[in-house]
Structure formats: structure tokens, C-alpha cells
Amino acid sequence: MAEEIAISLKNVSKCYKRYPHPVERLKEILLPGKSRAEEFWALRDIDLEIPKGHTLGIIGQNGSGKSTLLQIIVGTLTPTTGAVTVNGRISALLELGSGFNPEFTGRQNVFFNGRLLGMTQEELENKFDEIAAFADIGEFIDQPVKTYSSGMFVRLAFAVATHVNPEILIIDEALSVGDILFQRKCFRKIEQFYQDGKTILFVSHDLTSILQLCDRAILLDKSLMISQGEPRQVALAYKSLIAQREADQNTDLASFQQKYEQKNDNQIGESRIGFGGAEVISVEVVNSQGTTTQTVEWADIITVRITIYFYREVVRPFVGFAIKDLKGIPIIGTNTFHSKKDLAPTLAKSMVVIEFSWQCYMSPGNYTVSAGVAELGENHSITQLDRRFDMLPLAVVGNPPSLGFFALPINIECNVLDNSQNIFSDRQINASSISSS
Ligand SMILES: Nc1ncnc2c1ncn2[C@@H]1O[C@H](COP(=O)(O)OP(=O)(O)OP(=O)(O)O)[C@@H](O)[C@H]1O
């Protein structure tokens, strides 16, 4: 059965008028008849369908068109060309302060903003305590919002946006303003929305958040949508783009090579960036028996062995690896520079093998191994010579009793202080305080 579409954009473009100098705007008013504005296309030919129940991450450098796209979807901007269809009630957290009256108190704004978002007075009265508890800004709820810090603002705005029962939730970067505990609370709320089958659009420069929260992503660049699909692939495309921009700015290095291969046999797509000069020839994982393998036992001592060929002399080389989970979230990794194991200068046409060994306490599951070689320059500037993302799949097997990314041996002690209060058997510990840790 075809998926129901929550948001559809067909050939959407947005053109702004820009004046090269403010005086040109004045001239246009005083001497009408001739437009003195220049056209600026903030979005071009965007074709996008977001099925219901999906969480879409939107990635892109500053000025790439992300906010323009969201505003067009929300309806606060009209596209210059193209058509937008939205199926479902939207609640959006766009610019800080939009939808709030600065002179009103937080309490008044909950009602003001809630009404704008389609709630009735009665619904808001019923929800108010829940909204105030989520925002958790204490007595500031009765102060004018113009006196709020940006963190308080986003707390209240997020609380309202997520408690008005939207079918589509749109969040533009706002969460980065809140403190870490509030961010966690918001993430849980977004995950809850996802589980409830709602559609979410999420803009962030933090790729880890995109990987954690989203099941698909798009990359905008200079008004165009240049990549869409699985978040891990789109995040890699973004990293390649950033590396390419850095390379373009570095005119000393004539050739920037970018290779991209799809390795379907491993179900992982390798991505590769670098200036050349050295090459990661191979990466192997070796277990404590000395066997090269892609499946290791939990708690075994494993070695990541990286073989590098240096085409030229590199004065301050460093080599590193990263292990990521299948969402692309880094789990463990280091490099010789961070580990203060400086490598000697290498000669041209030399082969070097570097080994990183550790006891593999990663939780059982599937991972990928990435590796790279780089050169340290003046002022700690870094030139990537060859970085190979997701070269190798790695499975950790075993059955350790633990939660989280690592299953570390945990020492548990119980001291019975008073026979009448055996804390474990009497379940005196508050269950919610355990589960929220
Ligand atoms: N009202 C406007 N008039 C003219 N140009 C505008 C206007 N609003 C946005 N732009 C331009 O359109 C481009 C896209 O802006 P937009 O705010 O959508 O980018 P963004 O990807 O959200 O950036 P950021 O990550 O910095 O928020 C930018 O170059 C911006 O300067």
C-alpha cells in the first residue's frame, strides 16, 4: 500500500529581491518605474515528498535555504514558483520568539500562541499545567517574555509547540539554545512523537542529533537539494561537501580527490575524501587469537590494523580510526595525535602499519570501521590525506548484561545499613529515578 504523504513540494523555488545598496531601495521609491533590485534565489526546484510518520533531517551550511524551506512548508512564506501540499496540522518552532508577544507573560503567551496553533481556550486550560511543567521555568511563567533568556524562551516555545497535538512538528535548530537536560527532554518528546506516528521535520547542524532522531534526510546547498535519502549517507555527503569547500580554499593543494563507492556486498557504503599524498591501503580487525575477522567476541582484546602507503614525505603524519554504529554515531575511536603517540616523519614510497588495540567492551551489535591518515601543519592545521569512512563492517557478539553503547564490567555493592530497611528487596528506590538515569 502506498504511503500517505504528509508534505509534498513540487518544483518549489523562492526568489528574494535584494538591493545592492540601501540607497537603491530609496531610489526605487523616489523614481518608480525601474526596478533596482537584484534577484536572489534562496531555493530552486525543490521536489520532495515526506510520507506520514517519518522524521526528516534537514542539513546544510548557513544560508543554504533551510529556514526558507521550512517557512514555505509552514505557510509563512509563499513560494515564487511551484506547489506545496500539507496534510495535517502543523506546529512549528521556527525563529525564537515567532508567535509570541513580547509584552505578554509566559502564561498569556501559552494561550495566545496555543490559539494561533489551533487549540481552543478550554483545551489550553486543560493543558496549561502540563505545558508549564514541561517548560519548567518556575515563576517566570508570570513575567513578560521580553525578560526571558533565550533558553527560557525556547523552553516555553517547545512546550507549547509539542502540547498542541500537532500531526506535523517542525523544529528549526532551536534546541541548541536549551541546556543539555532540556535537550534530552526534548529528544525524548520527539522520539515519542515518532512512535506515535507523527511527521517531524528537524533542522540541525549537529549531525549526531540528525542521525539519532531522523529516518531520512536531505542536504541543501546554495538553494539546491543536492542529496536525499538515508541520514548516514546524507551526513557523509555533507562531510564531503565541507571537506571540498576547505580544499577549494586551500589553493596550494592542486588536486582534491573524492571517491565514492557503493559496496553492496557489505551493506555499507564507503565514502572517501582526501588530498592524496598517502593512502589507507587496508584496515583489518584482528582478534586475540591473531585471526583477521569481522566478528569479534565481546570483551576480547582486538586490534585495528591500518596499513598506509606514503607517496611523499610527510613530516607530521597522524593516523586514526573510528567505530560507528549503523546510524553513524561514533562509539569509539582515536588517532595517534590525540593519543600523544607522535609518528616519525615518513619517507616517500614507504609503507607503515599502525595498530590500535583495546578490550572490546562495545555492546553486541553491528558497527562500521573508518580510518584515515592526515598531516599536521603549522598552528595545528590539519590536511586530510586519505579518509575512508565505513570501510569495514564489524559485528560484536556475546551476551553481557548491560544497557547502552558499552557493556562495561560494573561492580555492584550492597551494604545493609539497617535490617529494617533492606533497600533492594523492599523496592524503596523510586523506579522513575532509575529509569531516567
Ligand atoms: N527576506 C530575505 N530577503 C533577501 N534574502 C533573504 C531573505 N531571507 C533569506 N534570504 C537569503 O536566502 C538565503 C537562504 O536563507 P535561509 O535563512 O533559508 O538559510 P538557512 O539555510 O536557514 O541558513 P542558517 O543556517 O544560517 O539559518 C540566504 O542567503 C539569505 O541571506
- Domain of residue 291, CATH code: 2.70.50.60
Q: Is 68 in the pocket of ligand 1 (CB under 6 A)?
A: yes
Per-residue pLDDT tens for 51-84? Answer: 999 999 999 998 999 999 999 999 989 999 999 9
In a domain, 116, yes or no: yes
* 259 domain residue, yes or no: yes
Do residue 212 and residue 317 come from a single domain? no
141 and 128 in contact (C-beta within 8 Å)? no
The CATH number of the domain holding residue 138 is 3.40.50.300
For residues 97 and 103, the answer to whether their CB atoms sit within 8 Å is no
**Cα 183 to averaged position of ligand 1 atoms, centre (Å):** 25
pLDDT given for residue 347 in this prediction: 92
Of 196, 216, 231, the residue that ends a domain is: 231
Q: Whose CA is closest to atom 24 on ligand 1?
A: 62
Within this chain, do residues 110 and 185 fall inside the same structural domain, yes or no? yes
178 and 326 belong to one structural domain? no
- Are 321 and 283 a contacting pair, CB within 8 Å? yes
Amino acid at residue number 88: G
- Distance between CA 422 and CA 383 in Å, rounded? 59
In a domain, 411, yes or no: no
Q: Which residues contact 220 (CB under 8 A, 6 or more apart)?
A: 43, 58, 59, 60, 64, 65, 66, 69, 226
Model confidence at 319: pLDDT above 90: yes
Count the domains in the chain. Answer: 2
Q: Ligand 1, residues 13, 14, 16, 95: which to mutate, most atoms within 8 A of Cβ?
A: 16
Whether 218 and 273 share a structural domain: no
Ligand 1 atom 2: the closest Cα is on which residue?
16
Residues 222 and 261 in one domain: no
Residue 72 sits in the same domain as residue 220:
yes
- Are 383 and 275 in contact by the 8 Å Cβ rule? The answer is yes
In the block, which residue shows the cell 525564537?
96
49 and 92 co-located in one domain: yes
Which residue type sits at 153?
F
Region 372-377 average pLDDT: 93
Q: pLDDT tens-digit profile of 109-122?
A: 999 888 888 888 99
Å from CA of 236 to ligand 1 middle: 24
Task: Answer yes or no: is 424 within a domain.
Answer: no
Report the nearest atom of ligand 1 relative to the CA of 70: 18
217 located within any domain: yes
ipTM for this model: 0.93
Examine the domain organization and report whether 275 and 317 are in the same domain: yes
Q: Based on the fold, state whether residues 199 and 316 are members of the same structural domain.
A: no
Q: Tell me if 65 CB under 6 Å of ligand 1.
A: yes
Closest CA to 228 of 243, 240, 238: 238
With respect to residue 110, please indicate whether it lies within any of the assigned structural domains: yes
- Residue 226 pLDDT class (50, 70, 90 cuts): very high
Give percent of the chain above pLDDT 70. Answer: 88
Q: Is residue 403 part of a domain?
A: no
Asked if 374 contacts 318 with a C-beta cutoff of 8 angstroms, the reply is yes
Amino acid at 144: P
Check whether residue 213 and residue 155 sit in a common domain: yes
Domain assignment present for 84: yes
Instruction: Give the length of the chain.
Output: 437
Q: Which domain holds residue 85?
A: 5-231
Provide DSSP, 200-267.
EEEE-S-HHHHHHH-SEEEEEETTEEEEEESHHHHHHHHHHHHHHHHHHH-TT----EEEE--BGGGT
